[in-house]
Amino acid sequence: MKHSSFFWFVLPSALLMLLFIALPIVSVVTQSLYTAHEQVIVEVENCGPFGCTKSTAIDQEATETLRAAEPLGKFAGLDVYTDRNHLAISEVGTLWVESDGLPDFGSALMNLPFYKAMGFTLSYTAIVTPLTIILGFMIALAINSVAKVFRGPTIFFSLLPFIITPLVGSLVLFWMVDARGILGTGLQWLSGDPTLSVKASTGLMWAMLMTYGVWHSAPFAFVVFYAGLQTVNQDTIEAALIDGASRWERIRYVVIPHLTPLVTFVALIQLMDNFRVFEPIISFSAEAHATSLSYAIFNDLGGETRLLSSAAATSVLTIVGVAILLSPILVRTYRDFGK
């Protein structure tokens, strides 16, 4: 392709990417470096239907001049990143010195909001991603060997968890595992413990969130692998058959190598998605047991007083986290491309 036609070809997408991806990131980074102005607080008397009370309020006139002078707010540099609600550098330092061995340090670290969120996010990503790929692959293999007549309906039903809106899908599961729901009661019966409740135990809550994660995204992996299975070279399979390869050997030595690029693709998408885990935490009301970086952003923006700088800093940390997580795969893809 000529350089000029290439330029005109990519210009619209490049412009859109600049407008909708690059600029918002610049804005978020900027926001995270500034905090609100110092507020001038005065004591006031508030009156209403229930009488008068002494209270405090912001002196708007005094604060106004500060605002007008620096409309972006007060430059804080990396202060927001290093404070206790984010990387908590100084708190971690103190913990390291004061803690009594690694397990003690670990549990104290999990008391800091950022590390607590990272603890769950990373466990979720590390467990859900491989399970999704394995389960998706198994479904694809199973459906590929179903008689042609039944394939349509089977594919449809296998895709259902992915089609259902995440919020609705998780709410359905949420009510089923309720202590009075069908799965919750079933678990109590199985374990013989009538007080067992999934929603009351951190461990079970994590397990349920992860189960949900796998249930919801396995169909995605399945669809990709199923498409890949249709392109497997039948001659090679037949040759392997003649050589006496078992079904497992055919899968191991013919099918899986053929699907490797697709595994990379699914892993990439799933790592990104799982690192941003959010909806299940909200719809399972799991805030008390599990938080994630996305949940922290939502929480900062959902309060009566919005913490924009804090949310911006967490967003930047999320981008950095995704970049670190994806780097091994990206490097590998780049190397393969170079060959």
Q: Which residues bind other proteins (CB under 8 A)?
A: 35-39, 41-51, 53-58, 60, 64, 74, 76, 80, 83-85, 111, 113, 178-179, 195, 197, 199-200, 202, 284-289, 299, 301-307, 309-310
User: Which CB atom, from 218 or from 296, has the smaller least distance to other proteins?
Assistant: 296
Q: How far apart are CA 195 and CA 190, in angstroms?
A: 12
- Secondary element (H or E) of residue 57: strand 51-58
Q: How far apart are CA 101 and CA 97, in angstroms?
A: 10
Task: Give me the least distance between CB of 66 and other proteins, in Å please.
Answer: 9
Task: Give me the least distance between CB of 201 and other proteins, in Å please.
Answer: 9
Neighbours of 131 (CB within 10 A): 19
Number of H helices and E strands in the chain, helices first, is 17, 4
Name residue 202's amino acid.
T
Distances (CA, A) of 20 to 96, 97, 250, 272, 278: 41, 44, 46, 18, 22
In this structure, are residues 260 and 336 in contact, taking their beta carbons and an 8 Å threshold? Answer: no
Task: Give me the least distance between CB of 153 and other proteins, in Å please.
Answer: 36
Task: Give me the least distance between CB of 288 and other proteins, in Å please.
Answer: 4
Q: How far apart are CA 181 and CA 279, in angstroms?
A: 21
What size, in residues, is the chain? Answer: 339
Neighbours of 158 (CB within 10 A): 19
User: Which CB atom, from 42 or from 241, has the smaller least distance to other proteins?
Assistant: 42
User: Which CB atom, from 209 or from 254, has the smaller least distance to other proteins?
Assistant: 209
Q: Which of 237, 280, 273 is nearest to 255 (CA)?
A: 237
Task: Give me the least distance between CB of 100 and other proteins, in Å please.
Answer: 15
Name residue 194's amino acid.
P
Task: Give me the least distance between CB of 6 and other proteins, in Å please.
Answer: 41
User: Which CB atom, from 64 or from 238, has the smaller least distance to other proteins?
Assistant: 64
Task: Give me the least distance between CB of 197 and other proteins, in Å please.
Answer: 4
User: Which CB atom, from 141 or from 178, has the smaller least distance to other proteins?
Assistant: 178
Q: How far apart are CA 317 and CA 121, in angstroms?
A: 13
User: Which CB atom, from 41 or from 330, has the smaller least distance to other proteins?
Assistant: 41
User: Which CB atom, from 85 or from 99, has the smaller least distance to other proteins?
Assistant: 85
In this structure, are residues 280 and 292 in contact, taking their beta carbons and an 8 Å threshold? Answer: no
Task: Give me the least distance between CB of 22 and other proteins, in Å please.
Answer: 23
User: Which CB atom, from 205 or from 210, has the smaller least distance to other proteins?
Assistant: 205
In this structure, are residues 217 and 182 in contact, taking their beta carbons and an 8 Å threshold? Answer: no
Task: Give every CB contact of residue 25 below 8 A, 6+ residues apart in sequence.
Answer: 319
Task: Give me the least distance between CB of 264 and other proteins, in Å please.
Answer: 38
User: Which CB atom, from 132 or from 170, has the smaller least distance to other proteins?
Assistant: 170
In this structure, are residues 158 and 219 in contact, taking their beta carbons and an 8 Å threshold? Answer: yes
Helix, strand, coil proportions of the chain in percent (round to 5)? 75, 5, 20
